[in-house]
Amino acid sequence: MTLHPAPLTHKLMRDLYRIKGQAVAIGAVIAVGVMMLVMMTGLVASLSETRRTYYDRFRLADVFAPVARAPETVAQRLRHLPGVAAIQTRVSGRALIDLGGNALPIQARALSLPEYRAAALNTIYLTDGRMFDAARAEEVVVLRSFARAHGLRPGDHIAATMNGFRRELSVVGFAQSPEFLYSTAPGELAPDDARFAVLWMSRTALAAAFDMQGAFNEVLFSLSRGAEPEAVIAAADRLLDRYGAQGAYGLSHLQSDLFISEEIDGLRRSARSVPPIFLAVAAFLLYIVISRMVQAEREQIGLMKAFGYSDTEVGGHYFRMILVIAVGGALAGCLLGVAAGRWMADLYLLYYKFPFLVFRLDPASFLTGFAVSILAASAGGLLVLRQVFALTPAVAMRAAAPPDYSHSGQFSSALEHVLDQPTRMVLRRLTRQPLRMGGAVLGVAAGLSVSIAMMSILNSFSAMQALTFDVIDHSDLNVSFIQPLEARSIHDLQSLPGVIEVEPVRIVPAILRNGRALYHGAIHGLIEQPRLYRAVDADTQPITMRQGGVILSSGLARTLDIKAGDQLSVDVREGRRPRLSLPVIAVAESLLGSPAYMEIGALNRVLKEPLRISGAYLRVDATQAAKIYAALKAMPMVAGVSVKSESRAALKKVMDQGAGAMRYVMALIAAVITFGVIYNAARVAQAERARDLAGLRVLGFSRGEVAFVLLGELAAVTLLALPLGGVIGYGLTFAIAAGFSTDVYQIRPVLDAESFGLAMAVVLVAALVSGWLVKRDIDRADLVTALKTRE
């Protein structure tokens, strides 16, 4: 006989209403996991598709080959290299922009564009104004983000120093370029729209400014389908070697593409690792809730089976309850994921200089979110459904045998006299059901561990900035020269009024290799005992610059898979461009960038260029900073000035956007999951003991004493979870820190008392709020109804 399913449907509605608080809490945990999945996969799809479209539409080059100076006739030979589809030669140079309201000169990069035809590669997107007139050498198009940062308009005039000569330029338009999605000044990692500009000029005008008539100093390659970039790079370097090749590199080594690739990879890693944590917790909570319901509804299960409902129909009732919660959470998560993704897309549009960025939904993420939510929820519920199938009507309708507590929960007579009755009841509950209490402790510890990990990551970002700007860099500003100068040039800086201390540096661009691993970077030559800019070890102690070899930062050592004692191949891309083999003598701690260090004298000797410097670190009197800036602006040898306070502010802004902003989202989510776990633990305990608590009220216990019996158990579970959650959080912190770290910056876990304290405070607040909600229901409970309930 098949019974009509309507009664089970009505029971399902009543059961869901009865546990609405727990259902919402579990659904919220599922929703958070699905939201993260939909948001992150959507952002990955959006950024990847937008980048691909932008690169294709404006023909971004596949290979970049800078050179000292090559005649234009070489272009034909480059065009016929195997694997090359198209090339574009251009002139590129550094410039300093002088805006009247700025004390410091602003670093800029000047690039040429063809006068009478569109560029074959690396075209620009004109957003305002017009293109320059080829007949007017003073007209330029400026990077839009820089123009907006300074309030420039088409028709404004700026002064720029190029190749040592000052020029008056007329801004005729603003543009964006796929080459500068992430634009930074030379030598800096954090972008600052106000401190770096890109100028596009006619080829003729820029060639005249940098003495490149009939020549070029950079060539761009577009590759044929299936061509190997490494083969083209090697061929281009061989052909350009006699002209001062500085090392061709692929698109993956372009700084702008490197940063956005790291962002996409970080989102992809997070999408794979974060949502499963929340769904696993939800499965655990569902197991506890449904298990409690099955135990409490033994008699109802027996009656349903006695009236002809099959095991499949009865089990399906509880399974439908699981599905309703899982599907509801997944649906809410999908909607929240779309909203959060659109919000994050707007942030990325500001952070990366895309002309457009539309949040693109990934249909697979919806299917994955629903499928994984249902599977995780089912995994938590199927174990309970085994109990439903095992119950026969006769056994189910008979009350379960009371558990044997004869060998547990006994206290000594001395303890009996010390503890009052409510306290003894709490302790007996803990000792008589250790497995159930252990599960509750583990659940709360899991929520605490996530909070600890996220609090530690928040502190880790701050620690990264502190190490970089307070421990490693003790200077106030960094001055770079147009080209390496004689060491005595340092006296010109020392003689400036207000300059307290000057420390020379030699920065040499180089390609660092270890086997097949390579890195396009630079070697920093420092004095033997540097004070203003230092290399430090893992204990943040200064490292003496010994003359025996090179010191690599920890991030660079990992990239090259090299350690102290190994030999490092160095292709210098400046001057005589020697190829060196240097021993790695130490590994330095660095959380930002991937620097390599040498003693400056030893570096100059291997380059056969003694007593050369390319810049200096300065410590200055803040009261005379304006005069120092004015003096530096007037020095023709100065290529750029970087103020540490401005670099720090720019880095903080970067850390608070993009992937950095994601840590705040995850910290909020950690608080949600912590509350969900604790609230469910409190609700389950209340449902299990509703009849006992009503009986205590009838026996004369006050509301406060009855609440103490239940909430004392919650307090004990929470306190026991604190040390366990701390241990789990310790390991989880390292895992999440590794996920946030990139080749550009490394996150070192900061496990301090503040992180643990704040995380524990979140847990305690969640416990207090949950306890208040449960106590409110205890006070409102109908004693007669509760006493009629059979366990």
Q: Calculate what percentage of the chain has a pLDDT beyond 70.
A: 83
Is the pLDDT at 659 greater than 80? The verdict is: no
Which whole number is the average pLDDT over 251-268? 84
pLDDT of residue 1: 44
Query: In a 3-state reduction of DSSP, which class is residue 358?
Result: coil
Q: Which burial class, exposed, middle or buried, applies to 359 when counting CB atoms under 10 A from its CB (0-12, 13-18, 19+)?
A: buried
Of the chain, the percentage scoring pLDDT greater than 90 comes to 22
More reliable by pLDDT, 24 or 692: 24
Structure confidence by residue, pLDDT tens digits, 179-229 = 998 887 776 767 788 888 999 999 999 999 999 999 999 999 999 988 899
**pTM for the structure as a whole:** 0.76
User: 136-145, 378-387, 654-663: which has the highest mean pLDDT?
Assistant: 136-145
CA nearest 198: which of 68, 97, 56? Answer: 97
Q: Are 425 and 685 in contact (CB under 8 A)?
A: no
pLDDT at position 381 over 70 = no
Q: Check residue 741 and give its pLDDT.
A: 67
Closest to 719 measured CA to CA, from 685, 754, 768, 680:
768
Contact of 728 with 449, CB cutoff 8 Å? yes
Q: What is the per-residue pLDDT across 406-440, written as a single tens digit (0 to 9) for each?
A: 555 555 555 556 666 677 777 776 776 677 677 77
If we measure between CA atoms, which residue out of 6, 224, 22 comes closest to residue 777?
22
What is the mean pLDDT of the segment spanning 224-243?
91
How many of the other CB atoms lie within 10 Å of CB of 486? 10
What's the CA gap between 589 and 365, in Å, rounded?
Answer: 39
Closest C-alpha to 550, from 559, 563, 539: 563
Q: Is 530 helix (H, G, I), strand (E, B) or coil?
A: coil
Least confident of 126-140, 332-346, 517-531, 765-779: 765-779
Q: Answer whether 490's CB lies under 8 Å from 635's CB.
A: no
- Mean pLDDT of all residues belonging to the chain: 81
Section 508-525 average pLDDT: 88
Give the pLDDT confidence score for residue 292 in this predicted structure: 67
Q: What is the pLDDT of residue 537?
A: 84
Buried b or exposed e, range 601-633, using 16+ CB within 10 angstroms: bbbbebbeeeebbbbbbbebeeeebeebbebbb
Of 366, 319, 367, 359, give the one whose Cα is nearest residue 343: 359
Q: Is the pLDDT of residue 308 over 60?
A: yes
Alpha helices, H only, 482-550: 490-494
pLDDT for residue 365 is more than 80: no
Residue 791: pLDDT over 50? no
Question: How would residue 397 be classed by pLDDT, with cut points 50, 70 and 90?
Answer: low
Rounded CA separation 416/411 (Å):
6
Convert the pLDDT of each residue in 694-739 to its tens digit: 776 777 777 777 777 777 777 888 888 888 888 888 887 877 777 6
- Across the range 456-474, mean pLDDT stands at 80
Strands 84-90 vs 517-526: parallel, antiparallel or unpaired: unpaired
696 CA to centre of own chain? 52
Q: Show Cβ contacts of residue 20 under 8 Å, excluding neighbours closer than 6 positions.
A: none
Q: What is the mean pLDDT of residues 601-625?
A: 90
Q: CB within 8 A of 725, min separation 6: which ones?
A: 444, 445, 446, 447, 448, 449, 452, 759, 763
Q: Answer yes or no: is pLDDT of 485 > 60.
A: yes
Residue-wise pLDDT for 32-78, tens only, equals 888 888 888 888 888 888 899 999 999 999 999 999 999 999 999 99
For 748, other C-beta atoms within 10 Å of its C-beta total 15
Q: Where are the domains of the chain?
A: 92-210, 415-473+645-791, 499-620
pLDDT tens, residue by residue, 282-301? 677 667 666 766 666 666 77
- Report whether 746 contacts 189 (CB < 8 A): no
Other C-beta atoms lying within 10 Å of the C-beta of residue 174: 22
Region 555-573: mean pLDDT is: 88
User: Which amino acid, 657?
Assistant: Q
672/598 Cα distance (integer angstroms): 49
What's the pLDDT score for residue 501?
92
